[in-house]
Copies of this chain bind each other. A is one copy, B any other.
Amino acid sequence: MNTIEKFDVKYERNLSMLMDFYELTMSNGYLINGLGDKIVYFDVFYRKNPDGAGFAIAAGLNQIVDYIKNLKFSKQDIEYLRGKEMFSEEFLEYLKNFKFSGSIYAIEEGTPVFPNEALITVKAKVIEAQLIETMLLITINHQCLIATKTNRIVRAANGKPVLEFGARRAQGYDGAIYGARAAYIAGAEGTATTLAEQMFNIKASGTMAHSWIQFFKDEFEAFKTYAETYPDACTLLVDTYNVLKSGIPNAIRVAKEVLEPMGKRLKGIRLDSGDLSYLSKKVRSMLNEAGLYDCKIVVSNSLDEYIIEDLLLQGAEIDVFGVGERMITAKSDPVFGGVYKLVAVEEEGEITPRIKLSENTEKITNPGYKIPWRLYDRETGKAIADVITLAHEEIDDSKPYTIFDQEHIWKKKKLTNFVAKKLQVPVFIDGKCVYKTPTLKESRDYCKQQVDTLWDEVKRFTNSHKYYVDISMELWHVKQELIQKYRVND
């Protein structure tokens, strides 16, 4: 069950059975072979930033907390599984009483993250760790994707507000709802999705569609009726027939003849088609000429970070960006490739690391129970590098620390005068939630503040500088040993 109550909204479903079927065949297999209680370690990480970017934004942890807390299997679920005639009664009985008893460590929402570091580390009985794989991945892959894309768009807008307008083009209902959530964390100011305000307290707004204008006998009457209905919040959509010859003249007329006599101002106009650079400049000068200096120009229509950057470079007179499909689906690169990999198994009290080999050397996993650290320059506050160590290692930031490239280990760099911070926080310890979930606003502020710790070179939209994510010397040795052990000699 997944329950959220903000403004008393119930958005509740049983998502416990949202899993790849193989989680069940494997779990049953572990159990009936007497292996279900073995403690294992899994990492959630990804290999490549979307859009060739320099970093991604972590998001979705709160939904994972909800999921883990409420994970249970109903009588109906058990019946369904029994009908598959593959599962032992012992396993079905086990599921009936299932409760997650493991530990979860995670990087907090809003944090800039990089490839190959664990956004989440799960330490649990293998059967439990296996069963939660799919839900962890869907949640992380979706929300990190949208947060990462939105952060690019917000940075392109360079301080001007960006509103999330994408619901209708989202990939399903959750795509709209949790997409609005992830977008907010990453810097969107508000949303058009009403339910997102009810659930997450993200300010929802909106005025009119073309249908409002088409419904009335002419554009002026449509504008006039709207202004009379909402004199304090009147933003008019001006492109139904012709922006410069009809929409703007009618909007100005409404500002003068309807709103001014009431002592009100026209709040804004919205452009949803045409060349937004050309039109916004023309519109701005027409509005100014009519004394409507304070009337905001809102634009929408297939915007993304590249178009917004171009519009601003060309001096477009835009006050607010409404971004739809390209944000809510991350259209340019719509998959966040998070994976869930077994990295260690406890055997007779020892944590023994595991590896997955691949012909593609970049796909070889980092083995062992590990933690990711971020090293910040003490002077500038900027992030210098992330380092992944084994969990028992400490980085003592009172001393110099040498990082190195794991492919070319002669490439070294000695760091001094830095602060080392563990990136993960404990979320569940032995089944108990120990994490105080921040408000969405706090995650959003944290995101902004943490993105500010990155050098501009890392933040470039294309050809961004590759931020260092290195591994400790001890981890490097463990990895080399396992590669030698498991590689099949020719």
Contact = CB atoms under 8 A, between A and B. Distances in A.
Interface of A: 7-15, 17-26, 28-30, 32-33, 35, 38, 40, 42, 76-77, 79-80, 86, 126, 130, 133-134, 137-138, 141-142, 145-146, 165, 167-179, 192-195, 197-198, 204-212, 214-215, 225-226, 228-230, 233, 240-242, 245-246, 273-274, 325, 329-331, 334-338, 340-342, 345, 354-360, 363, 486-488
For this chain, the copies found in one complex come to 2
Given A18-B176, A229-B33, A138 B86 contact: no
A206 B170 CA distance: 28
B193 A18 contact: yes
Given A79-B7, A172-B171, A25 B208 contact: yes
A168 B24 CA distance: 15
A240 B35 CA distance: 20
A402 B291 CA distance: 56
A244 to B, nearest CB: 9
B210 A21 contact: no
A330 B170 CA distance: 12
Contact of A173 (B8, B28, B138): B138
Given A26-B211, A29-B226, A229-B28, A241 B175 contact: no
17 contacts: A13-B173, A15-B173, A33-B229, A77-B198, A126-B215, A133-B209, A134-B167, A138-B172, A141-B168, A142-B170, A172-B172, A172-B177, A173-B174, A240-B356, A241-B357, A242-B357, A329-B335
B211 A342 contact: yes
Most buried by B among A13, A21, A192, A363: A21
Contact of A341 (B22, B79, B210): B210
Contacts of A40: 211, 215
Which of A32, A206, A230 has the most chain B CB within a 10 Å cutoff?
Answer: A206
B337 A19 contact: no
Given A19-B194, A169-B336, 12 more contacts: A7-B76, A17-B198, A21-B194, A25-B206, A35-B215, A42-B211, A138-B168, A138-B169, A174-B174, A274-B359, A325-B335, A325-B337
Nearest to A204: B21
A24 to B, nearest CB: 7
Contacts of A24: 194, 206
A439 to B, nearest CB: 18
B174 A172 contact: yes
A18 B192 CA distance: 10
A211 B12 contact: no
Contacts of A172: 138, 142, 170-175, 177-179
A175 B177 contact: no
Contact of A230 (B18, B29, B205, B241): B29
Closest 8 interchain pairs by CB?
A22-B206, A172-B174, A21-B206, A137-B168, A171-B171, A211-B342, A8-B76, A334-B334
Given A76-B9, A325-B335, A342-B211, A169 B194 contact: no
A482 to B, nearest CB: 10
Nearest to A42: B211
A346 B153 CA distance: 42
B26 A212 contact: yes
A22 to B, nearest CB: 3
